[in-house]
Structure 1
């Protein structure tokens, strides 16, 4: 009897998240003769103990394949394939970033300001749901694709996990909005705090995207994740209640637009106003997210895996954008920081506006453009009066607030002339940026 019990460690391709662990374990444990099955996301392996007279390895392999994953037998092929995949994905990501950055840009989400009404918050949610599909699409797929009711002809049963996932997500947004509003009555987030939040969120998103692509097992080990006992408990809940819990946990993910809304809720200084604002914003994200989940519940697992890869690529791109925002808010010019040690100096831009010294002051005037700021050149130890002329057609939700981290200055821009005053004290290059960290340029101090 004892000799009939065998143990096998199986390498698996296609594991992208903790939900894959549970899905594969369930598929294996459904076989007669399986004594235990432990799937590890970090190593992408399944440790299976089984009673060989009742089940053999081929049955286990078939169960894994039927769940939508691939069994790996050749480590050499896996490594070569992984390197080629990494190179190919890197080229695609670089191409997508360049195309988007030079066409629609990454600042096409509406600005969230204290003057926005609830209707505009809903519209902001609609626009933001494009980002949600990239950031949370993989989680949505794990709840809506291949679910327990997906084989049912009853449309309600097939869509029930989708309903509950989005209900949990909006509930979480609402609670966190209320909590942020309550905290806002006590303190506010500094400029450095916003920069740190953006940097941390960007790093998290990049690591998450790489893990979703499955091209680096080391990063999987450092990625924070809920305890397996908790995820097993969630997965075992009846009537798809686990999807609701996953939606609740979704609200705690570091996501750019969600963070902007939480900062908005913080600024309300009220639990009720913060909660209602986040509720309406969350409802705005539901239509597109629900449609995405409904679509995924009706498609094959093979196509679902391809959608996961696209989602992962978008998460990485948005993570890079978020990280760049954090660096800009911290006053760091990433290009200069990386290239200056190599002996590459940044000369004055021909389009730079030069300050003129008169009566103990230096003055410079620039015109605000819709998608960019102008560089300026000023002199050290001379008080500066910088006039920014803003026309109505060029003033928008992204460029209407300038931040100069070096001097901890934030200035709202209005139609007409806007004057910024400070005294540069040392030579060098200072980065200034919009409040979102998406538009930036430099102040050269001579």
Structure 2
């Protein structure tokens, strides 16, 4: 029995703790989980919450791949709208990508500009990635010291001119530096040469778009990353894996002991190329959503640990940029609010439990980014908690989501699972108060 009162106790018949569901009470002090005990633990607290019979206590999701776009393209998305959407979906931590904001986060000055824009607007906790672009090798250490969680690079045109890709030679140069400072390089891995050689047919046909971004592009680029890891001794993370054809290469690298991690995204697990309507560019993303057989292999790779985590790659834009031409429409799926429900909907259909989803979307994503106090219900972790109703169904409408522009691939779908109440560092949060704070790499 704990002799010191808690600030908050939450009791649940079902809670995801230590990789499994069980009855539990969670005692919170000063924003962190102080003790985990039986459902009816004899504890006193300033406040007590008992979850409903149809609710499960889970940790908040950790989404390490979110494009907020503020400042500079705030009409696409902003910190207030993106973090409100995250909160509503059960995500308590996001890590912002270094593009498509202006300026991109490739210098300390640019990071400070972004943080000033975000200040007072964050409804969940927010961290920041730095950018790796040609010519900024000397900026990596200052950005690392300023607290970014690692560095993102492209091996192909990013879609915005101010964030150019790295050549293989430049990738080696940057990864030598990240190895030296102990930083993580996260990579948009598609090969420009493979895509340049593929057929490009403008128009609304989704099949033409998929053909223009072949599996070979991902396989080739991931091989370049793995070879560069061997040469430089650096760590790397593959962003938004789409092609299952790259899985054997990834498995071999992991068996070899290379410090490689890999993510995929809800849209690759929820949609298949065969089912996407021509002209439905809300589904356009790069690399693209591929076949149903490919999707099955991604799910299996999640289950066996080849793929480490699932994150949203929330990359919205204004509606006018989503033209019906797949070659010219902006590529990105707006999904931060529905990510948890989308993955849970697919996971339960395939026999996975909530503990699996928590591992993929909270525990492992936090570990990849080095967020030591996020990602699980455990003593010492931030008390980022969600009362999740796993059987409640929501009919998604784009206009009903919190993100800034009413465009999403999930429009008019029924998804299972609702985040009913959310606590951030032990305080219940809502879309009425901006209670989030900035996070830095390595903070205690």
Normalising by structure 2, what TM-score?
0.23
Richer in strand (by share) = 2
Name which structure has the greater RCO, CA cutoff 8 Å, separation 6+: 2
Query: Max radius of gyration: which structure?
Result: 1
Normalising by structure 1, what TM-score?
0.23
Richer in helix (by share) = 1
